[in-house]
Structures are given as C-alpha cells and as structure tokens.
Structure 1
Amino acid sequence: MNPADFLKSPTPPPVEVSAISRTGPKRFCNRELSWLGFNWRVLDEARNPQVPLLERVRFVSISATNLDEFYTVRVAGLRELAKGGITTPAADGLTPAEQLLLIDRDARKLLQAQQTVWNHLKHELEDEGIHILTRSKLTKRDKTHLQEYFLNKVFPVLTPLAIDPAHPFPFIPNTGFCLALQLEREKDGRPLQALLPIPHQIKRFVPLPAKEGGHRFLPLEELLLINLNFLFPGYKATGSCTFRVLRDSDLEVEEEAEDLVREFETALKRRRRGEVVRMKISSGAPEALRSVIMDELHITEAQVIEVRGLIGVADLKDMVLDERPDLLWPSFTSRVPERVQDHEGDMFAAIRQKDMLLHHPYESFDMVVRFLQQAAHDPNVVAIKQTLYRTSKDSPIVSALCEAAEDGKSVTALVELKARFDEAANIRQSRRLERAGAHVIYGFIKYKTHAKISAVVRREGDQLVTYTHYGTGNYHPITAKVYTDLSFFTCDAALGRDATKVFNYVGGYAEPEGLENLSISPLSMKNTLLDSIAREVEFARQGRPAEIWGKVNALIEPDIIDAFYAASQAGVKINLVVRGICGLRPGIKGLSENIRVKSIVGRFLEHSRIACFGNGHGLPSKKAKVFISSADWMGRNLNRRVETLVEIKNDTVKEQIVNQIMAANLADTAQSWVMNADNSFTRYPVEDGAFSCHRFFMENPSLSGRGTAGAADVPQLAHSKD
C-alpha cells in the first residue's frame, strides 16, 4: 500500500445504529471502558510476532502497571462516589455503580489474559535459553547458591511478622507484596500465622548461575519459601499464599492551604494509607489465612481477585534483559538536527536562523537540555522562565536552572506539585531550586499547570530577545526517549510576549490580555478549538473543501465531540488519531459518518497533540491552520488546567507537521487500530512490509531541523493541495 493512498481513500460505509440518537447519552462511549480498551491494545502488542520477544514481555508489564494505576485512581474515585450514594450518570448515562460492575467484568478478563499471554511468552523465553524456575527444578548446587544469596542480600532486609493479639496486623502500602504463612511449631504442633512483607528494594527475580550460556531466574517468593528455616526457626510451613494490594492514591488538598508544600507532604502520607481498592491473592490460599487478610484489610469478596499464576505482573519489566539485545528492539540513536550541527551546537544561533520543530525521540531531547544549559552559561542571558510538570530524578534541566540562579540570572520555575505520582519528586526539586536562589512558584490550587514552556531572555545589542520553547510533552529526559512529542523553538517576538503573559498569569493570577499566537486553558483554548471546527462547517456549507486532522491521547470532552458530530453532519471530513480514551463514536449514519478514528500502539508511546484545519482548502494544504498543544481534548485539560495551544505560522514547520507527521500517522498500518461505532477497535492485519510511522520517522529527518536546502530530499507522504 502506498501510504498516500490512505489519505485519499473513501470513508468506510456508515453504520446504522438505531439505539444511538444525536442528543442522547449513548452518543458517547464510556471513558473507563474506553481506557480498558486501550490497555487491551497494549497487551495485544505482547502477542504481536513482529515485536521482539523481550519487548513483548515489556508490553505485558506495561499493561499490568497501567491497570494498577487505573484502579488506584479512577476505580478508587468511582468507589467513593458509589459509597457516597452518588447516582449522577457520566456523559454516556452510566452511574458510578453501573460503571464499577462493567469495569470489574472487563478487568478480570484482562487480568486472566495477562496470565495467558505471560504463560505463552514463558515458553518462548525457554526456547531462547531464558528460564523462570520453580523450587522443584532446583539442583543441590542451585540451593547452595541461593542460600548464600538469601543470607547476604535478602535476609537482612526482611522483617517476619506474627499475626496474633500481641502483634497487630501490619500496614501494607500501595502495591505492597506479601507472603502469608500458616506455620506449625515442630516441638508441639502449635499453630502460627505470619506475614512476610517483601520490600520493593529486593529483586523480584533472583538470578541463578547460567547454564550453557542461558539465563535462569527464581521468583523471590520461591526463594523465601525454601529459606523459611532462617526466618521462623523451629517452625514448618503447612500452607502459604502471596498477595498484593492496591490502595486509593488520589490526593485531596485543602484549597486554603497556607503552605502548599507542607499540605502536599501531608496528603502524600494520606495516600500511602488510602483504602484498599483491590487485592490479588494466589489461588488455593489457606482459607483461614485468606479470611484474616481480608478482615484486617477491610475488604469484601468483590475486591479480591484470585490469580492462578504470577502475582505482580508489572514486575516482569525486570526480565527485559539488556544482555540479550537480539531479543530487543534494534538500537536507535536520536538525531542531532543538521541545523544545530551547522551552527556548531549553538541553539540560539540555530533558532535565530528560523523557527525549528523537533520530533522526539527521533530528534534528540538533548537539544532541549542544551538550550537551557547554554542559557545558564551565556553571560548575555538575563532571565529564564520554566514550567516543570514532570522531570527526571537527577534532572539536567533543574541543574541548569540552579546554575543560572547561582550565577545571578533571574530564574523563575513554575513547579506543579499536583503532577500525579510525581508530587514528592517535585517537592524535592522545588526545594533544590529555592536553595539555588530561583523564584519557585506553584501556580493555582484549583488548576494544574500542565503547559510546557521555557522562555529565555537574552540581551542582543541594545535589545532584549526572548527565545521560547513550547512542547507537547514533559521536560523529562528519560521518558523523552520513548514518548513521541514535539518541541517548537522560536525567537518570534509575539510568541515570546505570549509566554511571558502566561508566566505572569500563573504567578500573579492576572488573566492575560491580547495573546497573539497562543490560546490557553482554562480561558480560551476550548473556544479556539470550537471556533476552528465551526469555521470548517461554514466552509462545507459554502461548498468549499472542509477537513480536520487531529492527534491527541484522549478525546472525551462532550462539547468538542458534539462539535465534531455537527461538522460530520455538515460534510466535514475528519480524521483523528486518538491513542487512548475516545468518547466519540465514529462512522454512525446521520451522526458521525464522516469521522474516522484510529489508535497507534507500538515501539514508542504516541504523546504529541496536534490540530490541523483545512481553512477552506482541505488537507494537506499550505493554507491550513495548524496548532500544537500540551492538552488532550478532555474536560480537565480544557476547563481545569493551564494548557497551551500554539498556532504554527512558519511554512516549513507547518509542512513538517501536516505533510510528514500527520500524514505518516494517518498512513500507518503496521501498528494501527481502527475504531468501530460500538467502541471496539479492529487491528490492521499484521503483515511484513506494512507501513510503520515509527520506522519512517526513525529513517527520515524532519524538515525544519534541516533547513530549506535539505528539505527537498526528505520523502513526502502527502503533497499540499495548493
């Protein structure tokens, strides 16, 4: 298939769905079930023969980690609503209690599928010389080795705990993993129940000496069972089980908190003690043990899942062995843009020449780090302003900001304390920045600041020039290696003024006036998107080409979905790439017959947010209106967060987004799923030679990073109509 053919292919025939009305709740898909559907697609990559074996193991682990987080946040929230007697339905008409029933049914199937996939992968690993052993497979030499390993690397960390009136049941933290034991004293047969909490710091899979060049591992729980005599001398085990708990991990923060950092530290402690929302326990657990665990954790049968297989599938990430590169994705090194090389690494000179868009991870995120490091060391830089939503533990960006502050530059860092699961890390980063002399602000209590902006003010002659970076992803060098995101660099004065107004808004609460090339949530972004969709409707009514391309991680905002429905009914052709949750039902006659939705799940995690509007010329077109954004099309992003929507006006950058990035995403068949009207997804057939957008981007440099001279040599997937 020629990739460009997809862009010209007709919309599939519309489906008659009599139960769907244009105004009723059934026009929306349920958010939670849609998310579970995405996680099924993630798990399916573990079955994909085109994916290297250890990467398939990684996909099983990712699926499990995703599901854990889903339960600790989304399911926990729904449980609180249901327990509180809240019956207000979601946009799709389902009450919290109804959603919980459907989630439980699908999640249990997903958990079983994870075990099934893992069992298949285990056999394939054995064929490749990688073995996960049980106690019965150990040799005498293995046991001697394991005893030494246990005494030196495990025993000092463990704390065995009896369960009786003198020893209260211990607190098991979120994702806590335990071995529970039914014991009997050898001298008189006296029974004892005990717990062995297993710290996260211990390796889940214990390596054994290799045989014939292979790799052998023993699960940690098996190691503990063969060394119980050191933990409970004088006792023998008569029964055992393992279990793992998930707790409510949502945070509640008082709106009038006087000291936001202290309030978040307190909230983090509450999270660690949140109610248990789910417990997985090994099948065949002794009934007395099972009963006491449930009683002490205050959970019901509905919250318990018996597992016949591996508990803690998320831990399989530890089995992705660097020593077996033959079973991993082929190595890939991110490119340094030619324009940056032409200027001998000088980011300011490269940006001064012309606006530049980098596509991560294909172009190195090190360019973003270099931009800030050069700003820190440049004597002509007078000020740096930076948002930080998520970043790495030893962040080079935070280090650069600290250096700049210590050097006397004015540094303002907006640190978002409400970045879920990164709150503690962000508190540490904020204190580090404050010690260096940076101005640290935390933004709004009721809004998260999710915008991705860096602004560097540089003295050039008698002028102050603002160099600005707008991103679609976080300032996180680690995740930037696997997340596809866009980094837009510019020294355009209008975009610099816009960035300054956003920082002033978050720091001083004064709503910005006169934004020139920028729309922001919660003030104007949603209206900009709705107005842009409405313009396409008007073009369609005038008989002019009317087309929309969009790429987001999630689409559930009802007003946006209804606007797309209205556009489809007016004849606007809409192609959407939605990686995860999608509340829109495509391809329904009389409602959405001109809308196609696809999801891409593959080597890299699709994360960039793009909106393209034909502007009366169809797509692709040089006259299209093109935006990049930090926001998904969700209520939280458009109504309750500070986000950015940047209009791209540079012709080369626009062409890169429309003719390369969006065209390749729409053309992909190697790792794509097409959404059906009933919220299900159908995968394109997995075939050798199918077009992969990830492979295309790895092999072809982007337009704006090469400059005009090199652009003509870059393969084009779609050619502009004018």
Structure 2
Amino acid sequence: MPRRKKALEEINLSDPQYYFSREMSWLEFNNRVLHEAFDPRTPLLERLKFMAIYSSNLDEYFMVRVAALKEQVEAQVSKLSADGRTPQEHLDMIYQRLRPMVEKQHRHFEQALRPQLAAQGIYLLDYIDLNQEQRTYLQTYFEEQVFPVLTPLAIDPSHPFPYISSLSLNLAVVVKDGITDEELFARVKVPKVLPRFIQLPIETQDLPTSVPKSRPPVWAGVPLEQVIAHNLDPLFPGMKIQEYYPFRITRNADLDLEEDEAEDLMLAIEQELRKRRFGGSVVRIELQPSMPEGIRAMLMQEMGLTSNDVYEVEGLLCLRDLFGLIDLPVPELKDPPWSPVTPPRLKRVNEIDIEDLAESEEDFFSVIRKQDLLVHHPYYSFSRSVQRFITEAAHDPSVLAIKMTLYRTSGDSPIVSALIAAAENGKQVAALVELKARFDEENNILWARKLESAGVHVVYGLVGLKTHTKLVLVVRREEGKIRRYVHIGTGNYNPKTALLYTDLGMFSCHNDLGADLTDLFNFLTGYSRQQSYRKLVVAPVNLRDRLLTLIHREIDHQRNGGHGRIVAKMNALVDPRLIVALYEASQAGVSIDLIVRGICCLCPGVKEVSENIRVVSVVGRFLEHSRIFYFHNNGQEEILMGSADWMPRNLDRRVEAVVPIEDPDLIKDLEEILGIMLADNRHAWDLQPDGRYVQRRPTNGSPEQSSQKIFMEMAQQATAI
C-alpha cells in the first residue's frame, strides 16, 4: 500500500498526456451533432436540422477559434496549451481532422439525404434538370425579383479586388469579351435578402424525366445560386458566359476591444461591429473541386490564404441554409410536437389575468413564499414561469424594484417589454445588458437603448469581465416590511431559446439569497469589492476555490473510510486546476460521473490517474445547457446549480453565480435529473481514454431510454395530477 501511494505521488497530473486538445474535443462534439443527421432513428427533417446546426457551429468555430489561433501564429505565440501543443500544431490538427468530417457531411447530404427527401416528395432539384416551363418561370422570377438586386463586380487592373463579406455565397464568373475575345473575371454575390431555395409553383411541379418519381411533390425547388448562374446574360451584355464557380468565405469575427481605453463601451462596440461587417481577415474559403487552379490561386492570393484554408465541397455550399426547409408542413418527418407544460404549482396562478391579481388571494409571490420552486425548461414553460414572474412584478403595486441581468434575449423580447412596463409603472428598474455577448452585440445595443429611453437604469457590464450570470431580483413591500424574491438560472432570459435549450431555474425568497443578490447587483452597477456572500458562489470571486474545496472534501471522506462521490453536469470542462483536483479525487477512490455536453479536456479511464472517472455527453433534440454539481459529502449531500462551466473564462473572466440548493424536494429533483441522464442509452456518448466517443445502445433487449423523452413524459404526468 505505501508503495502504491508513492507511485501515485510521482505521477505528474499536469503532464500533457492527461489532457485532450480543446480544439479536437470541440470538433468531436460537433461530430456528435452531425451523427444525428446520419442516425436513421432521427426523423428526416430533423436530420436536415442537425446538418444545418453542424454547419452553423462550424462557421462560428472558424470565425472565433480558428481566427484566434491564426492570430497567435502570426504573433509568434509559442505558449503551449495544457495538452502540450502550440497554436500552429492545433491548426494543423484541425485541418487534418476536419477535412474528412466535412467531406463526409456533404457526401451524406448528396447521396443519402437528398434521395430520402425525394422519396418523401421533397425535391431539391438542379436547374439543368428542369423542363422548359420551369425554366421559363425561373427566368421570369430572376428578371423580376433577383436581377434588380445583383451587382456584378469586375476584377481587372482598373477594378481592384472587391471586398467579400463573411459567410457570403458568391459566384466567380468567367466571361469572354464578344469583340476582343479576352477572358475576364467577375464576382457576383448571391443576395441574402432572398430565399436560398426558390420554390417552384404547384402548376410547374411536374418533375423532370431525369428525376426519380417516388411520390407527388410536397415541395420542389432549386438553389438560388443556380437560378442566377443560368441567367447571367443580362448581367453581362455583349459578353459570352464561359463558366461560373460558387465559393464562400469566412472571416475573423471576434471583437477586439480595448475596454480600458473606451470612454463609451456602447460606441466602442458599435465601431467594432462595423469592423466585423467590413473587415476581419479571411480564415476559410469553401469552393467546389471543379474550380480551375488559376481562379483558385487568384482568390487565395487576394485574401491571403494558404492551401490549408481551402475546403473543397462537392455539391451545395453553405448547408446551414437547410434551416429554410425544416418548416415544411410534413409533420410525419419531424419530432412529435412538444408544448412546454405549466409547472403544477403555478397552474392556478397562470389562470388569473394580470389585471385581476389584486383581487386574488394567490399570486406568483405567494407560491414562492410557501416553498422554493424549481423549473426545468423546455419541459416546463418559460413563459408561464420566468416570464410570468417578471411580468407580475412589473404590474404588482407592491413591487418597488426589479433588477436583472440580460446576456442574450430575443428580438421581440416580452422580458424587455415587461421591464419597460415596470419603469412606466414607477418602479426602480435596473438591467445589466451584456454588450459583449458574442454575436448578440447588435441586438443587445438595440434593446439597451430602448430600455434607457423608457427610464430603465441600464448598465453595460464591467471592464474586463463578461456578465454571464442569470439573475432576477424583485423587491416587494409586504405588510410594512421588505421582502426580496429571486430567480437564479442556468439559461438566458430568452423565450425562443428556452424552447430549444435545457435549463434550470430556481425561485426563492430566502433572506440570505435576497441579500446576496442585492450585494451582487451593487457590485455590477456601482463601486463594490464584495469578496464574500452568504449563500451565493460567485466568479471570479470564489467559485473556483469553492469547487476545489468541495472536491477535496470528497477526497478526505474517501480517505477516512467514507464514500466519496461527485456528479457534475456542464457544457464544457477545460480548467486545468479543476481537472487536476478531479484526477486526485479519482486516485483517492472517489467515484466521479461527469455529464459534459461539449468540450472535455479531461481524459477518463486512465489507469492510476482517472480510472474512477466516467464522462458522458448527451446530444439530442434539445441542447443540453444546464449546470448541476453534486457532492455526496458522506451522506450530507450538497448540490449546486448555476450559470458557470468549468472553464478558465467562466471562472476568471466572467461574472457567474452558482447557488447551493437546500430545499430537500429540490435536491431530490436535481438528483433525479442526474440519474436519468446517466442512464440514457439513446443520446448518450461515452468518452474513451483515447478521446473517441462511443454512442450507447440498448443491450440484452433492454428498452431504449432517452433522457429528454423521459423528462417530457414526467412533465406531462406531473401536470395531469
């Protein structure tokens, strides 16, 4: 025994061999998303959705992560990541791993999904296969709807290479001068203001003879770029169209803010957004293999690209546009519709109109006073829980103040409307709008201005920190005293994503939590160096230290003859210090289950390092977004939930809040959620010691268990009681 202890102490837990590459781990996560587009158990139009999500995820990955790595290489950054690689080595790995994944995606779409769609009456046709009646229709459509929007841009010594916007689909057009026979080159942008797929009218939907006819068309159409390409003559009168070649580029889209020097953060971000639209180096070009080497070389040279930045795509470019076909009225090709149910304890409250609450003995606040309330979205309705809470507060005469954080919200947000109504009703309203929420900056600026004009006190976040925490504080006068109500969540206050993401929220009126949120909002909106909280655990103040303390407590219990047990659910696990602590816990014999949706840099199942650690990823109909942290504590269980993943950015550079759950009923609910997810054998993937993920399958005749389906059934059963 002493010899084994010595051997374990000699293991360097910071050795790069015990860490997966963050970049490779993300690519493997996106590969699991793509797998849903391949899985025959997934309804056909949902497979299109996952195909589009994969492409959309990849666009953002290039705009942010690949762009950042390329900048590090250009700056000659040589610092190694935890897995022991340089930025250039990461880029090389990305290129090597990603190319076959992209090829597999497009091959599957062309060879499998398009025929399967046709078998169901959904025909995505090629222009060259159309009959004359259909071509005539599209020619008219082009002349009336498309031609006025197009702007051909010549490229020659008198016409410099044009700016090409990020994520735009383009045609590289080769024409020959009818007089001089000189070959010329031009670029035509496929306009985003028009639908990507142009539907043929019912009367012209007789299918071309070259197209297999499986059933009458439900929908038939062609890609917009093909409509443009086959009607180019009006754009180049007097020229002979030689050929056209589609291509698409991706630019660096991360904002480069010097916050310390920005007198007006909103103005600085608006300037950076303009740079994002009109600047940013090109980091990727997608094109078809048929593009001639001369045109390819010219594009690469003008945009400063190397061969590593070129991705050849057979078939359609930009499969994220498949989102446009998902809403076709073919319910049998989609998941069964899901309507979030009203939380049982809020059923009576939601039956009362806001205007009639003054005459009712029951309202949202009376429900919370009886007992803390936990809601699990999208199984329980966001609009009839979180949104109702804020709306009631806005119209309740007894409410004095509302304070909340807004990281991301929808364009037509009823939450913002409620805050405006509260201000108009004379309440003190403060909203921290995080202007630096990536890709939502413009939307957040819009709503910040609207809130300010209505009299809401708007704060734009803190210098050097993103405010990522999800909090609402409502201050209410009751019988001459002040009582504070809180909502602490894991997800954004966005009714639209609340239908797509799994998230948790807790309502409470405990004094300590109300006081903690008051202190935290004072930190966010004023001058405060608050370093301790009564219940709340806050980053960057004390969250990492608290998590390390809880992990080491499990180690102590295990070493002292108890039973150490940790279960943690999160979106990403990257932080090296927490990973080392988990390795130490595993070495001590603590049993650890991690439910990590996306990036996981920890290597599970490594002998004498992590053999007591298991990692599972669940990728299904809804995006797993909640964070739950369970510690057995020798039978005195402690469980927390909140907004933070275990990443350096969340622990050091973001304001996050995690709350310990103390109500026994809520503790049981969260333990049940973790248990059901760990038993999933439909959407769960087990991470192997070599970095591969293996999807679980029912064995020995056992039934298929989809955790998300089980949660839907549980919600329906609960509301039926």
Range 608-617 or range 267-276, more displaced: 267-276
Correspondence 1:698 to 2:698: no
Q: How does 1:637-676 map to 2 (within 5 A)?
A: 637-658=650-671, 660-676=672-688
Could you tell me whether the CA contact under 8 Å between 2:568 and 2:629 is conserved in 1?
A: yes
User: Once the 2 structures are TM-superposed, how far is the Cα of residue 686 of structure 1 from its aligned partner?
Assistant: 6.7
Three-state SS of the structure 2 residue aligned to 1:575 is strand
Correspondence 1:237 to 2:237: no
Could you tell me whether the CA contact under 8 Å between 1:182 and 1:191 is conserved in 2?
A: yes
Partner residue of 1:258 out of 251, 255, 263: 263
Aligned to 2:4: none
Pair 1:216–1:689, CA change in 2 (3 A): farther
Correspondence 1:374 to 2:392: yes
Partner residue of 2:447 out of 429, 440, 447: 429
User: Once the 2 structures are TM-superposed, how far is the Cα of residue 375 of structure 1 from its aligned partner?
Assistant: 1.1
Partner residue of 1:280 out of 275, 286, 310: 286
Could you tell me whether the CA contact under 8 Å between 1:38 and 1:581 is conserved in 2?
A: yes
Could you tell me whether the CA contact under 8 Å between 2:123 and 2:217 is conserved in 1?
A: no
> What do residues 591-650 of structure 1 show as CA deviations (whole Å, max 9, x unaligned)?
001110000001010000000000102xxxxx3101001000000001111001100001
Report the Cα distance in structure 1 between the residues aligned to 2:314 and 2:669, rounded to whole angstroms.
50
Report the Cα distance in structure 1 between the residues aligned to 2:465 and 2:150, rounded to whole angstroms.
42
Three-state SS of the structure 2 residue aligned to 1:701 is helix
Report the Cα distance in structure 2 between the residues aligned to 1:524 and 1:369, rounded to whole angstroms.
30
Aligned to 1:25: 16
Aligned to 2:274: 269
Could you tell me whether the CA contact under 8 Å between 2:341 and 2:716 is conserved in 1?
A: no
Count, aligned residues: 684
User: Once the 2 structures are TM-superposed, how far is the Cα of residue 276 of structure 1 from its aligned partner?
Assistant: 0.2
Aligned to 1:304: 310
Report the Cα distance in structure 2 between the residues aligned to 1:63 and 1:408, rounded to whole angstroms.
46
Q: Kindly, what percent of the aligned residue pairs are identical?
A: 44
Partner residue of 1:634 out of 631, 647, 665: 647
Higher relative contact order (CA closer than 8 Å, sequence separation 6+): 1
Report the Cα distance in structure 1 between the residues aligned to 2:54 and 2:93, rounded to whole angstroms.
19
- Structure 1: any 5+ residue segments left out of the alignment? 1-16, 618-622, 714-722
Aligned to 1:442: 460
> What do residues 550-569 of structure 1 show as CA deviations (whole Å, max 9, x unaligned)?
10000010011010000011
Aligned to 1:326: 332
Partner residue of 2:155 out of 145, 154, 163: 163
Report the Cα distance in structure 2 between the residues aligned to 1:355 and 1:152, rounded to whole angstroms.
60
Q: How does 1:181-220 map to 2 (within 5 A)?
A: 181-210=173-202, 211=205, 212-220=216-224
Aligned to 2:566: 548
Query: What one-letter code is carried by the residue in structure 1 that aligns with 2:270?
Result: E
User: Once the 2 structures are TM-superposed, how far is the Cα of residue 256 of structure 1 from its aligned partner?
Assistant: 2.2
User: Once the 2 structures are TM-superposed, how far is the Cα of residue 61 of structure 1 from its aligned partner?
Assistant: 0.9
Report the Cα distance in structure 2 between the residues aligned to 1:662 and 1:108, rounded to whole angstroms.
36
Partner residue of 2:614 out of 584, 590, 596: 596
> What do residues 182-211 of structure 1 show as CA deviations (whole Å, max 9, x unaligned)?
001335533321111122221111111244
Q: How does 1:86-165 map to 2 (within 5 A)?
A: 86-119=77-110, 120-165=112-157
Partner residue of 1:360 out of 377, 380, 386: 377
User: Once the 2 structures are TM-superposed, how far is the Cα of residue 153 of structure 1 from its aligned partner?
Assistant: 2.2
Report the Cα distance in structure 2 between the residues aligned to 1:596 and 1:468, rounded to whole angstroms.
35
Three-state SS of the structure 2 residue aligned to 1:616 is helix
Could you tell me whether the CA contact under 8 Å between 2:596 and 2:615 is conserved in 1?
A: yes
Correspondence 1:72 to 2:63: yes
Normalising to structure 1: TM-score of the pair?
0.92
Could you tell me whether the CA contact under 8 Å between 1:20 and 1:26 is conserved in 2?
A: no
Partner residue of 1:408 out of 426, 432, 441: 426
Three-state SS of the structure 1 residue aligned to 2:615 is strand
Could you tell me whether the CA contact under 8 Å between 2:174 and 2:184 is conserved in 1?
A: yes
Could you tell me whether the CA contact under 8 Å between 1:574 and 1:594 is conserved in 2?
A: yes
User: Once the 2 structures are TM-superposed, how far is the Cα of residue 654 of structure 1 from its aligned partner?
Assistant: 0.8
Aligned to 1:8: none
Aligned to 1:225: 229
User: Once the 2 structures are TM-superposed, how far is the Cα of residue 21 of structure 1 from its aligned partner?
Assistant: 5.3
> What do residues 333-367 of structure 1 show as CA deviations (whole Å, max 9, x unaligned)?
10001111133453222222211110000001102
User: Once the 2 structures are TM-superposed, how far is the Cα of residue 36 of structure 1 from its aligned partner?
Assistant: 0.4
Pair 1:546–1:666, CA change in 2 (3 A): same
Q: How does 1:558-637 map to 2 (within 5 A)?
A: 558-617=576-635, 623-637=636-650
Aligned to 2:360: none
Query: What one-letter code is carried by the residue in structure 1 that aligns with 2:100?
Result: K
User: Once the 2 structures are TM-superposed, how far is the Cα of residue 133 of structure 1 from its aligned partner?
Assistant: 1.0
Report the Cα distance in structure 1 between the residues aligned to 2:531 and 2:598, rounded to whole angstroms.
34
Query: What one-letter code is carried by the residue in structure 1 that aligns with 2:368?
Result: I
Query: What one-letter code is carried by the residue in structure 2 that aligns with 1:235?
Result: M
Could you tell me whether the CA contact under 8 Å between 1:142 and 1:208 is conserved in 2?
A: yes
Report the Cα distance in structure 1 between the residues aligned to 2:220 and 2:366, rounded to whole angstroms.
53
Report the Cα distance in structure 2 between the residues aligned to 1:632 and 1:514, rounded to whole angstroms.
21
Aligned to 2:322: 316
Report the Cα distance in structure 1 between the residues aligned to 2:185 and 2:511, rounded to whole angstroms.
70
- Structure 2: any 5+ residue segments left out of the alignment? 1-7, 206-215, 353-362
Report the Cα distance in structure 2 between the residues aligned to 1:89 and 1:23, rounded to whole angstroms.
12
Aligned to 1:501: 519
Aligned to 2:535: 517
Range 283-292 or range 677-686, more displaced: 283-292
Three-state SS of the structure 2 residue aligned to 1:261 is helix
Pair 1:669–1:565, CA change in 2 (3 A): same
Could you tell me whether the CA contact under 8 Å between 2:200 and 2:220 is conserved in 1?
A: yes
Three-state SS of the structure 1 residue aligned to 2:56 is helix
Range 432-441 or range 234-243, more displaced: 234-243
Aligned to 2:41: 50
Report the Cα distance in structure 2 between the residues aligned to 1:162 and 1:514, rounded to whole angstroms.
63
Normalising to structure 2: TM-score of the pair?
0.92
> What do residues 257-278 of structure 1 show as CA deviations (whole Å, max 9, x unaligned)?
1011111111112222100001
Report the Cα distance in structure 1 between the residues aligned to 2:192 and 2:365, rounded to whole angstroms.
44
> What do residues 514-546 of structure 1 show as CA deviations (whole Å, max 9, x unaligned)?
411111000101111110011111110111121
Report the Cα distance in structure 2 between the residues aligned to 1:636 and 1:570, rounded to whole angstroms.
28
> What do residues 87-137 of structure 1 show as CA deviations (whole Å, max 9, x unaligned)?
110011001111110011111111111112212111111111111111221
> What do residues 225-284 of structure 1 show as CA deviations (whole Å, max 9, x unaligned)?
121122222222112111111111111111221011111111112222100001111221
Aligned to 2:213: none
Query: What one-letter code is carried by the residue in structure 1 that aligns with 2:77?
Result: I
> What do residues 124-167 of structure 1 show as CA deviations (whole Å, max 9, x unaligned)?
11111111111221011101211222222222221111112332
Aligned to 2:355: none
Report the Cα distance in structure 2 between the residues aligned to 1:144 and 1:352, rounded to whole angstroms.
68
User: Once the 2 structures are TM-superposed, how far is the Cα of residue 26 of structure 1 from its aligned partner?
Assistant: 1.2
Query: What one-letter code is carried by the residue in structure 1 that aligns with 2:706?
Result: S
Could you tell me whether the CA contact under 8 Å between 2:688 and 2:694 is conserved in 1?
A: yes
Range 310-319 or range 533-542, more displaced: 310-319
Report the Cα distance in structure 2 between the residues aligned to 1:185 and 1:352, rounded to whole angstroms.
80
Partner residue of 1:292 out of 288, 291, 298: 298
Query: What one-letter code is carried by the residue in structure 1 that aligns with 2:276?
Result: R
Three-state SS of the structure 2 residue aligned to 1:206 is strand
Pair 1:85–1:213, CA change in 2 (3 A): closer
Query: What one-letter code is carried by the residue in structure 1 that aligns with 2:367?
Result: A
Could you tell me whether the CA contact under 8 Å between 1:628 and 1:648 is conserved in 2?
A: yes
Report the Cα distance in structure 1 between the residues aligned to 2:647 and 2:664, rounded to whole angstroms.
29
User: Once the 2 structures are TM-superposed, how far is the Cα of residue 513 of structure 1 from its aligned partner?
Assistant: 4.8
